[in-house]
Amino acid sequence: MCGICGELRFDGRRTSADRIVGMRETLAHRGPDSAGLYLSPDCRVGLGFRRLRIIDLSHEADQPMANEDGSLQLVFNGEIYNFRELRAELETKGHAFRSKSDSEVIVHLYEEEGAEGLAKLDGMFALAIWNERTRQLVLARDRAGKKPLFYRRIAGALAFASEIKAFFGHDEEPLEIAPEAIPQYFIHGFVPSPGTFYRNVRQVEPATIMTVDADGRTARTVYWQLRLQPREAAGAATDSARDAIANVRRLTTAAVERRLISDVPLGAFLSGGLDSTIVVGLMSQLTGSSVRTFSIGFEGDPSYDETAFARAVAQRFRTDHTEFRVAPSAVDLVDTLIWHHDGPFGDASAIPTYIVSRLTRQHVTVVLTGDGGDELFAGYLRFAAAVAAERVPAALRRPLRALMERLPRVANDRHWLARARRFARAMNDPLLDRMTRWSGLFFDDIEQLLDPDLAARVSPIDRLQYLEQERDRLAGLSTLGVLLHTNFRSYLLDDLLVKVDRTTMANSLEARSPFLDTELIQYVAGLPDWMKLRGMTTKVVLRQAFRDLLPPAVARRGKMGFGVPLGTWFRGGLKDYVRDLLLDSSARYNTFLSAPYVRELVRRHQAGEANAGLQLWTVLCFELWLRNLPQWNRRGAAALHPA
């Protein structure tokens, strides 16, 4: 796992070693073990690399990685799980290898088959290849989008990097806020791909190969797509239930086994939920030894604490278990988290994920996670709610909503009454609006939240803009198919994977996700809906496939989710912190947001009239980002990395 960056100039100017090194060193947390640099003979191209040694710890595996004559230069972030098979195939074609690394396999694969050959890679990756002979830069990203890759196009040059912070101080043009990104952030808690918070900064999209010629011309090829069953086949059985159970067991086991390849110690994040329990159980079986497991809990609200379940799993598999508890004072990390996310990030579970990553890195360098299981096997309760809403007779919808609104308010968003009220409020909406509202933050009131001048500049605000490129692929899918596809291409991509990548790599820790294995994804995508969701029972086929592995308490429990008790904290130990930050008359957000609206939101939440913890968190992160941004631009990123 590493950090990569580079620049291609097509205006006749030269790049410099100092420029590339400056970019590279802002990514040192992603690769603390060694650094590399390449400048083309004419200095029109520069590549930078920071390495975290995982496979082949020798210097032979350092990057940039070149072919025999140096005409190809690769910088690569990630892990390729089928590199041994590809290497054997390439050796039969005459390619010689000097290392045992997966990065050298990529170089020879490209040398043999060109950019099209990159579609053979199975793993998590973001990479750049400079071809000196064709004068072409190739950028590519893995299928799910696990590894990040950003690029900035300005007059005369294109720069790329694993994180946006590499662009701060990169040239004479400071990064500027993209106004149209602000409402999208407050609707979703993130800026949907391929956009970012910054003008002229975009993301290479998942499963995409992007080529840039020496004159700046670009082209893109999508080499893979998620393919779910069409509506008419979603209720049918392609395999018998018994075959599906056996195949899910086999493919999941193989996915975990592939991710145990490492020359450094491994462990696992253990929440006590279904997915992480299965991963830990399989690791125990495959290694035949005690697995290092790590979990985290919360002080202040027991409804957010899963540590008892994690402990039960640790005892079941006799793991070497480490546990940590998060107190409200952990909010002191918010500046560090904003830095590592290159801007505000609406998922507050980044706090405990960062802390457990820091704790884990003291013991291991690679960690396996349960990420992707909910997206693959329909694990979210909102999926079941969306399907159920389709079946509620139209005549009952308004009376049901009226009834829910009359029920007493509860202080916790996880209480069944709070969930029932959210269900009833969105029940009359079309499916895409309904699912966006359920997972959104300022869905109804985004225009009221924004400062009137900004609202006028970015109007009309399209709440479904993030689905614009997906609509053709959604046509013909079942209700559950629509939910699974959009979740894979939005929440998983822009929230969960971003959170895990930034918080683990901030601590020089590699995270691997067996449930995002290509073969497993493609097989489960083809299974009928009833094998994934049956009434309110989620992950049907996965539960059946691993029934023998799950402790009874884990098998019986419902979906809890990994959240932070912000509502409780913001009314308790962090009450004054929120008031001091957001009620300050000189708050930076006043330029973009309606100060009266924010003040009223703070008042209502702290008076117990609303549960606005998540909404206040997004505003809080936005405010702190605005305070930090001038420094990032003024002094350059290398001098600003927080301790």
What pLDDT is stored for residue 416 in this prediction? 55
> 121-125, 239-243, 254-258, 518-522: which range is least confident on average?
239-243
Tell me which fold the domain 231-377+482-556 belongs to.
Rossmann fold (3.40.50)
The residue-averaged pLDDT of 493-509 equals 97
Is the pLDDT at 643 greater than 50? The verdict is no
What pLDDT is stored for residue 44 in this prediction? 96
- Residue whose pair of structure tokens reads 């086999």 in the numeric block: 250
Is the pLDDT at 6 greater than 50? The verdict is yes
The Cβ-side half-sphere exposure at 403, using a 13 Å CA radius, reads: 9
Distance CA 591, CA 445 (A): 18
| DSSP state at residue 320 | E
The residue-averaged pLDDT of 59-77 equals 93
Beta bridge partner(s), residue 369: none
Q: Which of 387, 344, 353 is nearest to 371 (CA)?
A: 353
Distance CA 241, CA 506 (A): 42
Q: Which residue has the higher pLDDT, 381 or 389?
A: 381
Token pair of 168, please?
A: 């701060």
* pLDDT band (50, 70, 90) for residue 641: very low
Cα dihedral 330/335/340/345 (nearest 10) = 80
Q: Which distant-in-sequence residues (6+ apart) come within 8 Å of 455 by Cβ? A: 447, 461
Q: What is the pLDDT of residues 83-128, one digit of tens each?
A: 999 999 999 999 999 999 999 999 999 999 999 999 999 999 999 9
Is the pLDDT at 638 greater than 50? The verdict is no
Q: Which residue has the higher pLDDT, 365 or 434?
A: 365
Beta bridge partner(s), residue 6: 47, 160
Is the pLDDT at 21 greater than 70? The verdict is yes
Identify the H or E element spanning 210.
Answer: strand 208-213
What pLDDT is stored for residue 302 in this prediction? 64
Question: Would you list the domain boundaries of the chain?
Answer: 2-224, 231-377+482-556, 565-643
| pTM metric for this prediction | 0.93
Distance CA 635, CA 620 (A): 24
Domains 2-224 and 231-377+482-556 share a fold: no
What pLDDT is stored for residue 318 in this prediction? 95
What pLDDT is stored for residue 385 in this prediction? 84
Q: Which distant-in-sequence residues (6+ apart) come within 8 Å of 405 by Cβ? A: 421, 424
Q: What is the pLDDT of residues 397-420, one digit of tens each?
A: 666 666 666 666 665 565 556 666
Q: What is the pLDDT of residues 160-180, one digit of tens each?
A: 999 999 999 766 678 999 999
What pLDDT is stored for residue 639 in this prediction? 41
Distance CA 629, CA 176 (A): 9
What pLDDT is stored for residue 304 in this prediction? 66
| DSSP state at residue 103 | H
CATH class of the structural domain 2-224 = alpha beta
- Residue whose pair of structure tokens reads 């822009």 in the numeric block: 494
Q: Which residue has the higher pLDDT, 155 or 422?
A: 155
Distance CA 399, CA 427 (A): 11
With beta carbons less than 8 A apart as the criterion, state whether 384 and 558 touch.
no
User: How many angstroms separate the Cα of 74 from the Cα of each of 27, 119, 169?
Assistant: 17, 16, 24
What letter represents residue 307's amino acid?
T
Residue 333, phi then psi, degrees to nearest 5: -80, -5
Beta bridge partner(s), residue 136: 131, 213
The Cβ-side half-sphere exposure at 628, using a 13 Å CA radius, reads: 24
User: How many angstroms separate the Cα of 352 from the Cα of each of 139, 331, 392, 396, 505?
Assistant: 32, 10, 38, 41, 14
Q: What is the pLDDT of residues 179-233, one digit of tens each?
A: 999 999 999 999 999 999 999 999 999 999 999 999 999 999 999 999 998 866 6
Is the pLDDT at 457 greater than 50? The verdict is yes
What pLDDT is stored for residue 305 in this prediction? 67
* pLDDT band (50, 70, 90) for residue 388: confident
Residue 468: is it exposed, middle or buried by C-beta count within 10 angstroms (0-12/13-18/19+)? exposed
